[in-house]
Amino acid sequence: MSRTPEYAQDLRLPRKDAVESSAASSSSIMGIDTAATPTAQEEERTGLLDVEGRAGADYGATSTPRNGASAGTRKQSTMLKRIKYYIPSTAWIPNYSFSLLGGDFLAGITVASMLIPQSVSYATSLAKLSPVTGLFSASIPGIVYALLGSSRQLNVAPEAALSLLLGQAVSELRHEYPEYDEESVGLAVASVITVQVGLISFLLGFFRLGFIDVVLSRALLRGFITAVAVVIMIEQFIPMLGLTKLLHIVDPETTFDKFLFVVRNAFKNSHPLTTTISFSALFALVALRNVKNKFKKTWWIYRVPEVLVVVILSTFISNQFKWDLDGVDILGYVDVKTGDHFIEFPLKSSHFKFLRRTTSTAIVIAVVGFLDSIVAAKQNAARFAYSISPNRELVALGAANLAGSFIPGTLPAYGSITRSRINGDVGGRTQMASLVCSSIILLATFFLLPWLFYLPKCVLAAIIGLVVFSLLAETPHDVLYYWHMGAWVDLMIMSLTFFLSIIWNIEVGVVVSLVISLLLVVHRSSKTRMTILGRIPGTDRWKPLKENPEAEESVPGALIVRIRESLDFANTAQLKERLRRLELYGVDKSHPSEEPRREQASVLVFHMADVDSCDASAAQIFYELCEEYKNRGVGLFLTHLRPNVLRTFEKAGIWQLLGAGAFRESVADAMAIVEGTRRRDSAFPDM
C-alpha cells in the first residue's frame, strides 16, 4: 500500500501561503535574490549604457536627473538615452573630437585605396556585373552603417564569398531568361537579393535574434570559407589565362566542370600575353605584401596599398603598349548610371519573377555576412575596450543593405575582418573613418573611373587571387587542431561543407551543414542536466555523488535528483527517459540493454534550486511525470523551488496533484520526513 498520502497529510507540512515565503527564504539562504537578479538582456543593455556613459567625451553620456527634476525632464532624459543607444551617431557626432580626425582620415584613405580595386574586382569577376555596382556597394552601405552601427572600426563593403554567391545566382537566372538583356537581368537579380538580405538582417535584429552567431560552429565557417576560396581560385584562372570567350562557348555549369575546363585548355588555348600579365601582377602583389610585412615599424612602407600600386602601374603600362590591340581584355568605358534611373525601387513588378528563386541565396548571404561582421566587430571591440550589441549590428547592417538596394545592381555589403583590422591599425578610432572611406570611393566613382579605361581585367582577377591566399591561410591550422583534439564531428561538418560546395554548389553545402549544426545543438540542449545527490556523512549537506566520493545515499529506495538548468520544451521532452536511466543505472554511462544496477525508487526528491524558469510545455510534461510516479506509489518531494517556478507549477496543476506537503524548503527537510515516516512504520508495522 502506498505511503504517499501520509507524506501529503503530515501535520507538520506548511500551508500553501507559507510555501512561497519558504521558497523565497531558501533562495535567500543560497545567496540568490530572485527579485533583484536582472535578466541577461537587461544586463547586456545596462552594460552597454554604462560603457557608453563612461566614454564621456566620445559618446556624450547624459547625466542622471536630480531628485527634484520633473517627470517630464526624466522622461526626456530617458528618451535621449534611448536615441543615443539605438542611433549611435547621435552620440558620437555632436561630441566628436577633432584630435581623432587625423587617424580617422588616414584610416579612411588607406582602406579606400585598397577597397576601390577590390570592389571593382568583386563586381566584374565574381558578381558578373558592372564595375560601378561594386563601387556603390563599397560606399552607400558604409555611410548608412557608420550612422547606425555600434562598431567604430567595422568597414562595411562587398565581400568575396558573398559576391560569388550573388554571381552564381546571376549566371543561373541569365541562362533561364535568355530572351532578356543580360545586363538588365543581372541588375534586377542583384537588387532583389540585396533588398532581401537587408530585410532579413533588419528583421533578425528587430526581433532580437542576434544570438545566431553562437549557433554556427567555427568548423562550418572554415569549411565554407575554404570552399569559397577554391571556387574563386578556379573561376579566376579563367580570365587570368584569357579563356573567357571560350568559356561562353563551352558553358560549364558546376565548379568541377570549370576545373576540368581549365585543366583541358590551360596550355592549349590560353592567351600568352594575358597569362603573363596576370601572373606577373599576382607575383607583384605577393612580393609587395611580403616586403611590407618586413617593414611593419616603418609606417610609410607598411601603409603602402599594394593593390592600388599594381592597378595604377598595370593601367599605365597597358595604355603605353596598347595591350588591348593585342587581345587583352580591358575595363573600358564604364557608365556611372547602372539602370534607367540612378535610384529605383528594388521590388518593381518586373523583379517579382526573380524573388522566389533568390530567397535561399539571400538567407545564406545574410547569415554568413552577419557572422563575418560580428566576429570582426567583437575583435575590434575587445581590442579598443567597448561593447557591441549583435542585435543593433543586425539592424544597422540590414538598414545599410536596404539603402544600397535602391541603386540598381548594388551588391550585399557586410563587415570584413581584414579591412576592419587594417582600419584600426592605421588609426581609425570612430565611425568617421568609414565616412571618409565611403566619401573617397564616391569621388572615385564619379571622377576617377575614366582613368582606369586601360586597366586589364586579368589584373582584377589577380587581385582576387591574392584574396584567395588570405582565405586559405588558416585552413591547415584548423584542420590540424581538430585532428589533434579528436574533434571528429567538427572535421565531418567542415569536410561536408567543403565537398558539397565544390561538387554541388556553395548554397547547398552551407544549408546542409547548417541544418546538421542546428540538429546537433538541439540534440545537446534536449538532454536535461541532472545528477544524483548523496549525503555527506555526519552533516545535512547533499552533494553530487559523481563529484564527491565521500557522499553516500543514506536512505534505501530514496533517489535525490538535482536538476541543473531551467526547464523548457526542448530539454524536458526526454526528462522521463533520463530520470528512468538515473533510477535504474545511476550516473555512470550504460547501454539500455544492460541489466539494471539499482532498484526502482520508492521516494523521489527533486532539488530545483538551479531551475530559474519553466515554460508551459515543460510544466505540462513535468505534471505527466509526477502523475506517473504518483500512480506507481512513489513519494514525491520538490525542494528549493523559486517563487516564479512555484507559480508556474500551481497554474499547471502540480500543486493540486501532489498536495502542499510535497513542496519543501530543502532536501534535508524532505529527507527528515521520509526518515521519520520510515521509523514510525518500523515501530508500528501493523498500523
* Tens-digit pLDDT profile for residues 171-210: 889 988 888 888 899 999 999 999 999 999 999 999 998 8
State the pLDDT at residue 47.
38
The one-letter code for the residue type at 382 is A
Average pLDDT, integer, range 561-578? 85
- 136 grid coordinates: 556603390
3-state SS, one letter per residue, for 514-526: HHHHHHHHHHHHC
**DSSP secondary structure letters along 587-637:** SS---TTSPPSSPPPSEEEEE-TT---B-HHHHHHHHHHHHHHHHTT-EEE
- pLDDT > 90: percent of the chain: 49
Beta strands 530-535 and 603-607: pairing type? unpaired
Yes or no: say if 48 and 61 are a contact pair by the CB < 8 Å rule: no
pLDDT digits (tens, 9 = 90+) for 419-453: 998 899 889 999 999 999 999 999 999 998 889 99
State the pLDDT at residue 412.
97
State the pLDDT at residue 74.
82
**DSSP secondary structure letters along 374-410:** HHHHHHHHHHHT----HHHHHHHHHHHHHHHTTSTTP
pLDDT at 246 over 50: yes
State the pLDDT at residue 108.
94
State the pLDDT at residue 560.
93
Confidence tier at 69 by pLDDT (50, 70, 90): low
Calpha distance 482→258 (Å, rounded): 31
State the pLDDT at residue 289.
87
The one-letter code for the residue type at 238 is I
Q: What is the DSSP letter of 455?
A: -
State the pLDDT at residue 156.
97
- 59 grid coordinates: 559618446
Average pLDDT, integer, range 331-349? 87
More confident call, 521 vs 624: 624
pLDDT at 6 over 70: no
The set of residues, in sequence order, having a beta carbon less than 8 Å from that of 196 and lying 6+ positions away, is 355, 358, 359, 362, 366
More confident call, 685 vs 653: 653
State the pLDDT at residue 684.
59
Confidence tier at 46 by pLDDT (50, 70, 90): very low
Provide the whole-model pTM: 0.73
Give one word for 675, left, alpha or beta, with left for phi > 0 and alpha for psi -120 to 50. alpha
Beta strands 663-664 and 603-607: pairing type? unpaired
Task: Say how far residue 233 (Cα) sits from the centre of its chain.
Answer: 26
- Cα(first)–Cα(last) distance of the chain, in Å? 12
pLDDT digits (tens, 9 = 90+) for 394-425: 999 999 999 999 999 999 999 998 899 889 98
pLDDT at 302 over 70: yes
Q: Which range (28-42, 78-92, 344-358, 559-573) has the least confidence?
A: 28-42
Confidence tier at 67 by pLDDT (50, 70, 90): low
State the pLDDT at residue 570.
78
Confidence tier at 27 by pLDDT (50, 70, 90): very low
Q: Which range (44-48, 425-429, 503-507) has the least confidence?
A: 44-48
State the pLDDT at residue 15.
39
